[in-house]
């Protein structure tokens, strides 16, 4: 939920930026709900403070006369050329932060509030330039349906439930999470939080949420652990890029999930059982431990040929599970 003061200042900037001419103080009061609902004295104090804050932020608030032939009615505006910024280069981290701000703009109710303000401008008989909103509205192409509900849950500290589909899995499973924050990594959106089912911090890719985000508790029912660094935490939880290749044998018709992320390089290969109903797959992976865990799920339908360290790791885990030797 947007801070009332920040939203009021933002709406004031939008109003004065899109208006083609000077807007009078009375018109501003009539068009903006927080001003309109205040007494005359309260409005005067609030408007003066808001003007000072905008100028302190470097926003060029200009005064002038509504009618250039009759200097009897003063108004306000923000000139487009004075508001524009010179070209700015951002680091990858800064772009990520700006992207999140852009997403919040589009999904936290500000977009509808802005549309309402423009309707009021038109109803008041004032002309405006709709394209000027591009000067203050950042954009980011991201359309995950779960974003808005997940963002609201992080702001309000509300536990949630949702169905989640892991990479390479055909079905989904229900997760119960206390969201700590929404972050972007590798061009994708994630929610970071405490996974109640697994008893630890986890990160979930929003595009893999297969259901509605359901509230499971009251707002403010949990707190983020003191000292939590979401950037560092998301970095440690971000899936490792697939920089290695494993050669794996899979029984013909088996390991369907594995085949979705692997490339078949040969068929009719002789396997460890002496039969030729095996396929050779090339599998890209990042974390040796993670891929080993995935391969274990296919039991004897999959055999690792290389690399040797991955083959050894899978064998050792199988031995530990079986409690016996090969």
Architecture of domain 147-237: Roll (2.30)
Res. 1: pLDDT tops 50: no
Enter the pTM of the model.
Answer: 0.40
Q: Minimum mean pLDDT among 22-26, 105-109, 171-175, 307-311: which range?
A: 105-109
Q: Which two tokens stand for residue 11?
A: 């709406």
3-state secondary structure 55-68: HHCCCCEEEEEEEC
**DSSP class of 125:** T
Read off the pLDDT of residues 205-231 as tens digits, 9 standing for 90 and up: 888 898 999 999 999 999 988 888 877
Closest CA to 118 of 7, 10, 15, 8: 15
Res. 178: pLDDT tops 90: yes
Region 164-177 average pLDDT: 79
- CATH 2.30.30 location in the chain: 147-237
Which stretches of the chain are DSSP H helices? 4-18, 25-31, 33-36, 40-56, 80-83, 92-107, 110-123, 147-156, 230-237, 256-260, 288-296, 308-322
Q: How confident is the model at residue 246 (pLDDT cuts 50, 70, 90)?
A: very high
Q: What is the reported pLDDT for 63?
A: 85
């Amino acid at each position: 939920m947007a801070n009332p003061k920040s939203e009021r200042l933002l709406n004031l900037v939008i109003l004065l930026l899109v208006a083609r001419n000077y807007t009078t103080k009375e018109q501003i009061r009539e068009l903006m709900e927080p001003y309109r609902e205040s007494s005359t004295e309260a409005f005067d104090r609030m408007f003066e403070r808001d003007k000072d804050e905008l100028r302190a932020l470097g926003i060029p608030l200009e005064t002038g006369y509504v009618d250039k032939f009759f200097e009897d009615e003063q108004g306000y505006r923000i000139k487009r050329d004075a508001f524009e910024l010179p070209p700015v280069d951002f680091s990858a981290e800064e772009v990520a932060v700006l992207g999140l701000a852009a997403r919040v703009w589009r999904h936290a109710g500000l977009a509808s509030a802005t549309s309402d303000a423009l309707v009021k401008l038109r109803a008041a008989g004032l002309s405006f330039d709709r394209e000027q909103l591009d000067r203050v509205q950042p954009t980011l192409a991201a359309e995950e349906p779960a974003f808005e509900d997940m963002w609201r849950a992080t702001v309000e500290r509300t536990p949630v439930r949702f169905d989640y589909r892991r990479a390479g899995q055909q079905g989904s499973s229900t997760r119960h999470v206390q969201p700590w924050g929404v972050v972007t990594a590798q061009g994708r959106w994630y929610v970071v939080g405490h996974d109640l089912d697994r008893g630890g911090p986890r990160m979930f890719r929003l595009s893999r949420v297969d259901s509605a985000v359901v509230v499971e508790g009251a707002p403010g029912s949990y707190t983020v652990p003191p000292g939590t660094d979401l950037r560092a935490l998301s970095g440690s939880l971000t899936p490792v890029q697939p920089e290695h290749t494993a050669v794996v044998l899979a029984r013909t018709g088996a390991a369907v999930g594995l085949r979705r992320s692997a490339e078949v390089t040969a068929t009719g290969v002789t396997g460890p059982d002496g039969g030729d109903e095996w396929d050779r797959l090339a599998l890209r992976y990042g974390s040796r431990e993670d891929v080993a865990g995935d391969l274990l799920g296919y039991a004897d339908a999959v055999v690792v040929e290389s690399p040797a360290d991955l083959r050894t790791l899978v064998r050792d885990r199988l031995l530990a599970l079986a409690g016996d030797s090969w």
